[in-house]
A and B are shown apart, each in its own frame.
Chain A
């Protein structure tokens, strides 16, 4: 990584986000505090107060209002940013769909947290995955360096005239937001070169009045939603190009859709997203030492779902153990269902769903090793209809 330019620091994950957002020069930031996102918006507020970041920082009375403020600001042609998690993301639910349907390039950071009820402030990924259908581009990050680097990528892709879609980046609440990691900060001059000033295609402007948010009758709504989906699918190639350009500018080596860790010749491959992948890499290394052919495919882009890339990364495996911190209640892990979808009608591995770490429960290296060994025994068998729950304390669960 000799080409990597920028200052080396050890900072809190939340500050890594705030610093990156600062370099992207947003015009308007609006957010409502909610644990564990708070440090991100507090850091940004301090930067504005100190004149370090020239932006309008709008405090609101709820996340619904914060999302609506960035909606209005983006429609008026500003570069906008917000951050939230869990209940706050859910309170924004209506506005998230409205933003995507209105083709606004708003950037949002979600500090993944469990959802109520019962209430929990600790990390899992139920929140951001629940809004996967809203039309936002969704990219999950593993560590502070990634979440830092993917902010300008997010703005660049969102604002591309061929895309014009909102972009959500994810980091894990507490695990990423409240821990200190070493990272290399981006150089402001390079960010300015990579991410030019936002030039909206249309905006609210008395000199050129336009109407936004018209009523679509049945004769046009179907097609307008098709156009939205077409733009979302098309964003994959724009995103891949943006990541490539980022690598060249900043000296990084990101692969856009997923990262393959020792999975090329693996028999059992784990699939996951976010910070858990760090732990999985340790488990993979230990099992490899013990002679097992295992690996990890870390999924980065979740929406749109990069099916071709996923198939290519997994089709040599016999068993795929999808381990995730979420569940689609009444079915299984969401990513597991997505991986199954990529193989529908194709020959492929046996896909197993593992639900782990809900509500901030630690997932350990020994647990992961056990899972991979167990997954190997499912070679050639029909996968069960219900997911496996990792580390379930059966002794405290009452009988039915």
Chain B
């Protein structure tokens, strides 16, 4: 891959080619083609920089990036268990503080929606309550993808998963998404925000902003999963944009309890445009009563728009 090497070493891929062994996130990982989560993870660590320690929960991200003896991670990185990356990160922070090595070091705890909103919720709550100087990042692909697309507390209303499948007598997951950004913010932390891999520059800005704040921070990133959402990998970003633009996954920040940084738009597409891109919602277009369900999903989007002021006048 030899090219005319620039005079100075490229800092980012936008400056020029960087040999994979020198990257913060090396290619060669086992993520599916078009994986939203792996893309988001790369964007997060590139925004955070080399002075970062990552504690990662079990899940797609962990498994695909660290098959012994290889690792995609160019920063110090630790995986313990499924539910405890927040507590592990708390321990890392305590260790660095106790040994006078904390200055200038970012600490990120991260995991998927399964490890965040379900099995690890208590440990995240503890970390937020303790006030550790840690950024928690949730990569939300709306189901337990690594184990085969089972529902999580973040699975949206009426999505079909393997443990909440649509069927003769079911429209799929009948429960709403756990409002994780609000749950995090309710702990009184300085910064909580939602982001989407479909808006990568906004995502990286939010990572940098969060890391500039002292104390516990929470970032919830929507990451389409072509494999688990039964969609085409080429549409990963298009789907992610529609999730945001329809109001189903709004982008906003909560700083010290106050909603700020809301992404508004003049035009808000109808939820059908989003739902029809993924076969996990295809039963809504096929089953009798599906159109009623679609109306309920539109109502969710409308409520988000009202609550956050998504519609630009």
Contact = CB atoms under 8 A, between A and B. Distances in A.
**Is A–B contact present in the complex under a CB 8 A cutoff?**
yes
Interface of A: 27-28, 30, 54-56, 58-62, 64-66, 68-78, 80, 94-95, 98, 102, 204-206, 208-217, 220
Given A72-B89, A214-B67, A215-B66, A206 B50 contact: yes
Nearest to A209: B76
Given A211-B71, A213-B66, A204 B130 contact: no
Given A30-B94, A58-B130, A64-B87, A72 B80 contact: yes
Contact of A65 (B94, B96, B97, B126): B126
Contact of B94 (A73, A94, A205, A208): A73
6 contacts: A61-B123, A69-B88, A69-B94, A76-B95, A212-B77, A214-B71
Contact of A94 (B70, B81, B87, B99): B81
B90 interface: yes
A124 to B, nearest CB: 29
A76 B91 contact: yes
Interface stretch (B51-59, B205-213, B219-227, B297-305): B51-59
B188 interface: no
B80 A27 contact: no
B84 interface: yes
A73 B80 contact: no
Contact of A69 (B69, B70, B87): B87
Contacts of A213: 56, 62, 66, 78-80
B139 interface: no
Given A61-B123, A204-B53, A220-B68, A71 B91 contact: yes
A95 B123 contact: no
B200 interface: no
Given A56-B97, A214-B69, A209 B87 contact: no
A71 B80 contact: yes
Nearest to B132: A58
A58 B98 contact: no
Contacts of B63: 215
Given A61-B125, A72-B90, A28 B98 contact: yes
Contact of B67 (A75, A209, A215): A215
Contacts of B69: 214, 220
Contacts of B78: 72, 75, 204, 211-213
Interface of B: 50-53, 55-56, 62-63, 66-71, 73-81, 83-84, 87-92, 94-99, 101, 105, 122-123, 125-126, 129-130
Contacts of B130: 58-60
A74 B92 CA distance: 8
B95 A209 contact: no
A54 B100 CA distance: 12
B79 A214 contact: yes
Nearest to A60: B126
Given A28-B98, A61-B122, A72-B87, A206 B79 contact: no
A69 to B, nearest CB: 4
Contacts of A204: 53, 76-78, 92
A216 B68 contact: yes
Instruction: Name the residue in B55, B67, B75 with the highest tally of chain A Cβ atoms < 10 Å from its Cβ.
Output: B55
Given A55-B98, A215-B67, A69 B75 contact: no
B68 A30 contact: no
Among A54, A55, A215, chain B packs the most CB atoms within 10 A around the CB of A215
